Structure 1
Amino acid sequence: MLLRRATAADAPRIGQLFYDTITQVNAADYTPAQVAAWRAGWQNLPGWAAKIEQQYFLVAEATPDTLGGFASLASDGYLDFLFVSAAHQRQGIARQLLTALLEQAVRLGLSGVHTDASSTARPFFSHHGFRLKREQELVVRGVRLTNYRMNQLLAPPLRPTT
């Protein structure tokens, strides 16, 4: 799996992977109404392009024409997205993407990373050292969804001794 920075040209494939993953993977943990509300913005190409431009946004390419996943980190340490396609689940892609984002957070000098994990993603984040801060209920397109605010503290970079 090749990890690389996303570009605006990736936006259509990112949107499609977002839609497909929510429909095929997250649907196990959410009702049909919740799935429909959550995935509804998938075709917002200007929105995807803005996230790609504003965040440290990575794609994982299975082949030059196939995305296996994507993830993004905002400059304040907010892990905004971490999605892996249904066809590439349990292959270590989410771990690779998370590792790359945490390395970027360290390069930025951040003291921690936080995310709003779905019910589907919560066990993954827990397994990788994130701590649950609180359960949250939000309304998306008139439908209530539950997610989980989670964070992970980062070790400060070692400073050379003089």
Structure 2
Amino acid sequence: MQIRPATPADLEGITRLFFSTVNNVNAKDYSPEHIQAWAEAAFDQEFWLDKISSLHFWVADTEDSELLGFISLTTEGYLDHLYVHDKHQNEGIATDLLAILEAKARELGITKIDSEVSITAKPFFDQHGFLTEKENRKEWKGLVFVNYLMTKAL
């Protein structure tokens, strides 16, 4: 596995991985209606191209270019996305991606990382030193999504 900066050429792999992970991993913690609304974001190509170009955005892939996961960070210290392929859960990929993100944050002088974390991802963030600040209930597409604002001091 290698971790490298994402490029627009990764768009298709990123959106496929996002769609598949939401449908096959997050489905255990959210209703079918929530999953459908959430997964539809995969079809917004402009959204993802903007994220790739405007954020510190990394992908993890194999030598034969199989995308395993991705992570992104704003210049303000917000961890915007962390997704790992549904067929490669619990292999240390998210931990490796997070280590790259934290190193970049330190290099940028960021002293605290914030993220809004899904119910599914919360145990991972708990294990990696993030603290829950509050539970959020966010309305989106007519549905209320529960997630958690979590922070980690660097």
TM interval, short-chain normalised: over 0.9
1:46 aligns with 2:11: no
Matched with 2:144 is: 144
Equivalent AA in structure 2 for residue 94 of structure 1: A
What per-residue deviation string (whole Å, max 9, x for no partner) do you get for residues 55-103 of structure 1? 1100000343310000000000000000001111110000000010000
Superposed CA RMSD in Å reads 0.8
Identity, in percent, stands at: 40
Relative to total residues, which structure has the larger helix share, 1 or 2? 2
1:83 aligns with 2:83: yes
State which drifts further: 75-84 or 58-67: 58-67
State which drifts further: 75-84 or 42-51: 42-51
Structure 2 unmatched runs, 5+: none
| Residue correspondence of structure 1 range 64-143 to structure 2 within 5 A | 64-143=64-143
Post-superposition offset of 1:140:
1.8
Post-superposition offset of 1:46:
1.3
Equivalent AA in structure 2 for residue 153 of structure 1: A
Q: What secondary structure sits across from 2:90 in the alignment?
A: coil
| Residue correspondence of structure 1 range 10-29 to structure 2 within 5 A | 10-29=10-29
Matched with 1:3 is: 3
Q: What secondary structure sits across from 1:41 in the alignment?
A: helix
> Which structure would you say has the larger Rg?
1
Runs (4 or more) in structure 1 with deviation over 2 Å come to 62-65
Post-superposition offset of 1:44:
1.2
TM-score by length of 2: 0.98
CA contact under 8 A between 1:12 and 1:43: conserved in structure 2? no
Structure 1 unmatched runs, 5+: 155-162
2:91, 2:65 → 1: CA distance? 18
1:54, 1:76 → 2: CA distance? 12
State which drifts further: 99-108 or 58-67: 58-67
1:5, 1:55 → 2: CA distance? 10
Q: What secondary structure sits across from 2:58 in the alignment?
A: strand
What per-residue deviation string (whole Å, max 9, x for no partner) do you get for residues 102-148 of structure 1? 00000000111000000000000010000000000111211111000
TM-score by length of 1: 0.93
Equivalent AA in structure 1 for residue 87 of structure 2: A
